Structure 1
Amino acid sequence: MEYLFDNMRIFASSFGYLFIMNIKQKRLNAIENIIRSEMIRNQDELQRALSNKGFEVTQGTLSRDIRKLKIVKRHDGDNRYIYVLPDAIPAGKPAVEFSGHLAVLKTPPGYAMAIASDIDRIAPGEILATIAGDDTILVIPRDGYSNKQVAKALEPFLTGRQTNETEKK
């Protein structure tokens, strides 16, 4: 017998033994291996590659997996974007500069959208919204906050150290 429960497959043999296999972790490992070894440009390509390895996933599950692994798109130098893992991000951290009350973050090419998405998702109270290009993010602070307060709120995104504590804010 086989039961599917919360990303775990439980196999019960006739002897009553339960074998638990974490399907999600195996799928995440497969995604990492695919991204490292192939030039994947979009979710359809990644979904096909996973299917070839025996993993059937929905687009929604794939999107959550991509977010969990912090996979981003990077310009490949040939006018295309490919998925890369965070450990493939080039050295150099984003820098912030203010123009009046607006903050501008400079990032390595291809990383602005991923960082802006993190800021929007984990937005501290000081941040109203972001607008991202390829290597630049415009951060629009809420009224009533100083540039110093906004810079402090953006600090976790500048160092790349967003933690669960940051996400709870």
Structure 2
Amino acid sequence: MFVVRSDSGITDAAQLAGKPVVTQSGSSALTALTDDPGDGSNDENLALAASFSALDEVPDYNTAFMNLESGANDAIAVDIGVANFQLKTRGSDKFVMLEKPLSTEQYGIGFKKGNTELADQVKATLDAMWADGTFQKIAAAAAATYDAPELADMLCYGE
């Protein structure tokens, strides 16, 4: 996602051409803008990043938001969860999120090799949570807390 100042007039990522953008070092947003797997799957993001006047890296998103507030950068490339939290705590009247995400991510859970008992217990619990709607209830609560109605649409267990 990109976050811009609400008074910037920027409404889509293409308008970031020629502008300085900031993100956190080591973030998935940085990877989405700079990773070239060599198969063309990220060419759109690479071209977008090449259009920026700069892609600055800072150690944390608090610094990125200070840069945006001060005008040092015109946009922040950020994960949607961080963006929603920052907009909620800093004031959604000051910033807006652009519509199109940079990328999507899937998460997994790892276990020590050979610990199938724990893996089976966790899988059974997650299966039950999915089947009884607990995942959806958690997503709905988070969506309300962070003003992020799209969270419910992002659930994909076992897909």
Tell me if both proteins adopt one fold, taking TM over 0.5 as the criterion.
no
TM-score range, shorter-chain basis?
A: under 0.3
Higher relative contact order (CA 8 A, sep 6+): 2
TM-score using structure 1 length = 0.24
Give the greater-gyration-radius structure (CA): 1
Richer in helix (by share): 2
TM-score using structure 2 length = 0.25
Richer in strand (by share): 1
